[in-house]
Every structure is written in structure tokens, then in C-alpha cells.
A and B are shown apart, each in its own frame.
Chain A
Amino acid sequence: MFDQSTLTYKLEFSIPFQNESQSTIARNSLSPDPILKPDELNVTFSSKANVLNILFEGSSDKVIRVAANNVIENLKTVIECIEVFDQH
């Protein structure tokens, strides 16, 4: 079962966007996908003003590295979409 106390490894990203709407869009695009092994990893997305915060909490640095790589890949897609199609 989910035991927060074993998730002792942590990594946090703070990614500034041009405005609040962009950081919200990024959060909404990344957050729906569930974590496959919730007993090993927890990822929290939040946005405040123009900054997107991503907190990884894992049972080892390996699971964090894998998850962080994946999130960065997805983030690149999000940013590319914003670059091309954001009218603001």
C-alpha cells in the first residue's frame, strides 16, 4: 500500500513560463496520467503564477530519474506546442 514514509528521495523542478496561462496549460497537460507504481513514486504538479512546480518523491533515485526523464520529454512537447500556437 501507499506509504509516504518510504518515499525519501526527492527532486523538485521549478519551470518559469511567460505567463500564468501557459504554466496552467502545462500542468493540465502533464498531470492527468497516473503513476504506474504509486508505492514507489509520487509526482505532484502545481502551478503558481507563471511557474510550474513538479515534485518527485520516490523510493530510490533510479525511479526518480526515470520519471523525471519522462516528464521532461513530455514537457518538451508541451513547450513546442505553446511556442507554435500560443497567440498571446
Chain B
Amino acid sequence: MMPYYLALGMEGSANKLGVGIIRQPLGNLCENNRAEILSNVRNTYNAPPGQGFLPRDTARHHRNWILRLVQTALEEAHVNVSDLDCLCFTQGPGMGAPLQSVVVAARTLSQLWNIPLVGVNHCIGHIEMGREITGALNPVVLYVSGGNTQIIAYSRQRYRIFGETLDIAIGNCLDRFARTLHIPNDPSPGYNIEQLAKKGKHLVELPYTVKGMDISMSGILEYVDSLAHDLFSGKKSKNLYDEEDGKRITVEDLCFSLQENLFSMLVEITERAMAHVNSNQVLIVGGVGCNERLQEMMDTMAADRNGSIFATDERFCIDNGIMIAHAGLLGYRVGYRNDLQDTVCRQKFRTDEVFVKWRD
């Protein structure tokens, strides 16, 4: 028997397709016994400016690339398929067609390689990878991406959702505003908004919609969209001029204001969750977690509470295969397996459905 476990993970729940191979040493993972990333490759489907990615096109992209990515991941890791313990795949949540296009490859490969399949909850993948990379022991998790916005804390073998969006995800809100502005989707719409926001000078007042532990963003999007349309059509209404210096607001100002407004709402509910569970650590995961302004605002709040934030870089924040391999392998080690009949993907697969047997 080898002194380690080895898993390949496949992720394709949205427009990123990722394959990663992870090696976990025997024994409990801790500071001196870390998992090792052998490869982590990704290919992203980007729609043209002004458009979002559609399920059909995204699934086609994934089908075109999945096998090439698996081959590249195996080559980079210098691993033989016969050494793999299991094959992990994203079982949800996410878009149906892209998820399904990947699971078909996962089923076929698991039979050809004669290794078990392990279905992974995408959110749990983010959380476990974030914990492993940052070493955060028991943080409040802020999971912010194109499809999800949740405040999560671990309690009695579940990742429990303390607060979440009541309508659209934060990344979806930013992506859709990027579409309104017709800015490119490459490398990601959120990244391009972040760059524009850095040049914003005027804070435009937007609706602030925290509802208890939850937040709502669709109304904010509608409002900022209408401001942008008025701006582009050359309207001269009062709310298109800054109250103090009377200057006309710009696209940069709108990006800046949207970010400040949305992130303030996140900071508020995250802080409340930290008070609830008595934690002073925040782990930020998901694609929007790359945003440096969000990290900065969260850090200021955490520092006030004598705590700190833990964030990862784009290799792990943005959807990837390695997190699926890692979380799947944690499950595999405590006995989780999926029979072929039990590998159907679910678009709605909630974080708190998973029994986290691998943690105390």
C-alpha cells in the first residue's frame, strides 16, 4: 500500500472546466501534514461582451475540452491512472447541462480505470480547499461566486448556512452589470468591473438591502442598470450628477459604488455571523473572493474584532478541479462512494445537505 491517497477531481458546474490531481498523506491533515497539489488545470468558456454564458454552449465547451484536460492533468502530475484511489466529480449545485456533460466522462473513466466515483458538493469543495490552503481552523466562511452567495459556519458535522442571497448571487449581479456596460468577459466580468471601480471617485447612493441575515441584490442591479442606461442615453437627470461637486458621474463611479454597496452588505452579515458563532476568522472562497477590495473591507472588519481573514488566490478561488479532488478524497477516506446509479447531478444541492463525516 502506498503511504498516501491520490484522487483526480473534475469540475464543470459553470463556465470553468477544471481537472486537478491531489495527494493526501496518511493521517489527519494538519500544519505538518498537508495535502499536495500535483496538477490543477483549467479552461474557461467566455461569452462575447454583452452576453452571458448559456448552458448549451458551456456544455459543448466542456465536452470539447474535458478529455484533453484530464490528459494534461495526468501528464503534469506524473501519475498513472492505476495509482488513483478515486475519481471525484461535481454533483451540484450548478448549471444542469454543463454538470451533466462532465459526469458522463467521469462515469466512463471510472469504469475504464476501475476506481470508484465520489460525488462532491461544489460549495464544500471551495470550503475544504480554502481550509487546506490557508490553514484556517474554524472560520466563518463567506462563499461568494457567480452562482452562490452564502455565509456558512461549521457546527456538528454540517456546514450550516447562516445567511444567503434571497435572489441572485453577487457574482451574477456583477456579471450582469458588466453585460450592461458591454465590457469584456475575459478574464472575468467581475475582474474588469474591479479594475474600473479603482478609478471611481464618486459614491452614488444605491439601495441597501440587508434583510436580517440575508441579502437581496436584484433590486440593486435593476437600479444601477437604469442609471447606466440613463448615462449612456445622455439624460441630464439630477441623480446622474454628484451632490457635492456637481460633476457628472461616470461608468467608473457606478462600478465603484456598486462594489462598495454590495460588499458593505456582505461585511454586515458576515460580522453578525461571526458574533453568533463566536469566531474571529473569516475564510473567503468563490470567484468573487478574488476581489481585492472585498478582501480589504472584510479585513478591516475582522481586524476590529481582533481577527483576520483568510483568502486564496485565483488558482483556488475560481472554480477548479483540485478542490473537488480534495473534498472528494476527504469523503472517500471516511467511506463515501457513489454507485453509477447514484451519480445524477443536481442543480440545487445545498451546502448543509452533506454530512461532514471527516470532521470532528
For B67, list chain A residues within 8 Å (CB): 77, 80-81, 84
Q: Name the interface residues of A69-83: CB closer than 8 Å to any CB of B.
A: 73-74, 76-78, 80-82
Contact of A34 among B66, B109, B111, B344 (CB under 8 A): B344
Smallest CB separation, B286 vs chain A (Å): 27
Q: Which residue of B lies closest to A76 (CB)?
A: B63
Contact of B108 among A25, A34, A87 (CB under 8 A): A25
A26 to B108, CA, bound (A): 7
Q: Is the CB of A29 within 8 A of B107?
A: yes
B81 at the interface (CB under 8 A from A): yes
Contact of B109 among A32, A76, A85 (CB under 8 A): A85
Q: Is the CB of B112 within 8 A of A86?
A: yes
A9 to B322, CA, bound (A): 44
A58 to B208, CA, bound (A): 50
A33 at the interface (CB under 8 A from B): yes
A11 at the interface (CB under 8 A from B): no
Smallest CB separation, B107 vs chain A (Å): 4
A87 to B81, CA, bound (A): 11
For B343, list chain A residues within 8 Å (CB): 32
For B101, list chain A residues within 8 Å (CB): 73-74, 77
Smallest CB separation, B161 vs chain A (Å): 27
Contact of B113 among A26, A33, A76, A85 (CB under 8 A): A85
A81 to B340, CA, bound (A): 17
For A80, list chain B residues within 8 Å (CB): 67
Smallest CB separation, B173 vs chain A (Å): 29
State the interface size on chain A (CB cutoff 8 A): 20
A80 to B101, CA, bound (A): 13
B239 at the interface (CB under 8 A from A): no
For A77, list chain B residues within 8 Å (CB): 63, 66-67, 101, 104-105, 108
B233 at the interface (CB under 8 A from A): no
Q: Mark B29-68, 1 if CB is under 8 A from A, else 0.
A: 0000000000000000000000000000001100100110
Q: Which residue of A lies closest to B106 (CB)?
A: A29
A6 at the interface (CB under 8 A from B): no
A30 at the interface (CB under 8 A from B): yes
The bracket for how many chain B residues form the interface is 20 to 34
Contact of B340 among A28, A82, A87 (CB under 8 A): A28
For A73, list chain B residues within 8 Å (CB): 59-60, 63, 101
Q: Which residue of A lies closest to B81 (CB)?
A: A85
Q: Mark A17-34, 1 if CB is under 8 A from B, else 0.
A: 000000001101110111
Smallest CB separation, B100 vs chain A (Å): 6
Smallest CB separation, B327 vs chain A (Å): 22
For B111, list chain A residues within 8 Å (CB): 25, 28-29
Q: Is the CB of B81 within 8 A of A29?
A: no
B226 at the interface (CB under 8 A from A): no
Q: Is the CB of A32 within 8 A of B340?
A: yes
Smallest CB separation, B81 vs chain A (Å): 7
Q: Which residue of A lies closest to B66 (CB)?
A: A77
Q: Is the CB of B63 within 8 A of A81?
A: no
A25 to B105, CA, bound (A): 11
A28 to B67, CA, bound (A): 19
Q: Mark A47-73, 1 if CB is under 8 A from B, else 0.
A: 000000000000000000000000001
Q: Is the CB of A29 within 8 A of B108?
A: yes
A30 to B340, CA, bound (A): 10
Q: Is the CB of A81 within 8 A of B112?
A: yes
Q: Is the CB of A32 within 8 A of B105?
A: no
What is B's interface to A at a CB cutoff of 8 Å? 59-60, 63, 66-67, 71, 81, 100-101, 104-105, 107-109, 111-113, 340-344
Given contacts A77-B63, A80-B67, list 8 more A-B pairs with CB under 8 A. Answer: A26-B108, A28-B111, A29-B108, A33-B100, A34-B344, A73-B59, A77-B101, A82-B108
Sample 22 A-B pairs with CB under 8 A, ordered by A number.
A28-B111, A28-B340, A29-B104, A29-B107, A29-B108, A29-B340, A32-B343, A33-B344, A34-B344, A73-B59, A73-B60, A74-B100, A74-B104, A77-B63, A77-B104, A78-B105, A81-B108, A81-B109, A82-B108, A82-B112, A85-B81, A85-B113
Closest A-B pairs by Cβ, 7 of them: A29-B107, A81-B108, A25-B111, A29-B108, A74-B104, A85-B112, A78-B108
